[in-house]
A = this chain, B = another copy of it.
Amino acid sequence: MRVLGIDPGFSFTGYAVVAQEHNKTYLIDFGYLKLPQSRSLQERVAIFHDQLEHKIKSYQITHLAIETPFLGKNAQNFLKLGYLRGILYLLSHKNNLILSEFAPTQIKQSLTGFGGASKEQVARILFQLFPTLVKPDKYDATDALAISLCGLWQRKQLF
């Protein structure tokens, strides 16, 4: 079981790959993609597709975990987030991945035991779990890591 957690965004897309073996959680890959602002939206959608497909295939991903989004102040940004989610749905089907969606409170609850935890509290738990983790310069990466761990642990509870 290998989970890819994604926090999609047209500026930065956080990603994390985690696995569970012999009751130990391993962090396999972790970081963010930057979609070049100079390129057209079509090209950025295609880069997002190709880079994540490459990760799915090279890490032999079995599960995809994403966060349930809520409409913010900008409806056009919400729609554009939909573009990237559509690509994730396509990749999930084409690669036989099991897709799970979690509300932000579920993710925080799963990691810290408290659904209203702050980003800093979530990050602190992550650094306790993976002491050698290098602090990334974007929260998108730690957000994706939190999503992937939620995907890993929620699944464990189901089977």
Give bound CA distance, A78 to B80, whole Å: 10
* Residues of chain A in range 64-93 having any CB-CB distance to chain B below 8 Å: 69, 71, 75, 78-87, 89-90, 92-93
Binds B, one of A12-20, A43-51, A54-62: A43-51
Q: State how many angstroms separate the Cβ of A60 from the closest Cβ of chain B.
A: 19
**A42 contacts B by Cβ under 8 Å:** yes
Q: How far is the CA of A135 from the CA of B40 in the complex (A)?
A: 37
Q: Tell me if A45 and B90 are in contact (CB < 8 A).
A: yes
Given contacts A49-B90, A92-B42, contact A71 B75 (CB under 8 A): yes
A99 at the binding interface (Cβ < 8 Å): yes
* Chain B residue at minimal CB-CB distance from A46: B93
Closest to A97 in B: B42
Residue of B nearest to A69 (CB): B79
Binary interface encoding of chain A residues 82-117 relative to chain B, with 1 for a CB under 8 A from any of its CBs, else 0: 111111011011100001000000000000000000
A129 CA to B43 CA, complexed, in Å? 35
Q: Is the CB of A86 within 8 A of B78?
A: no
Q: A75-B71, A75-B78, A78-B75 are in contact. Are A46 and B90 (CB under 8 A)?
A: yes
Q: Contacts A42-B99, A99-B42 given: A85-B79 contact, CB under 8 Å?
A: yes
User: Taking beta carbons and an 8 Å cutoff, which residues of A are in contact with B?
Assistant: 40-43, 45-46, 49, 69, 71, 75, 78-87, 89-90, 92-94, 99
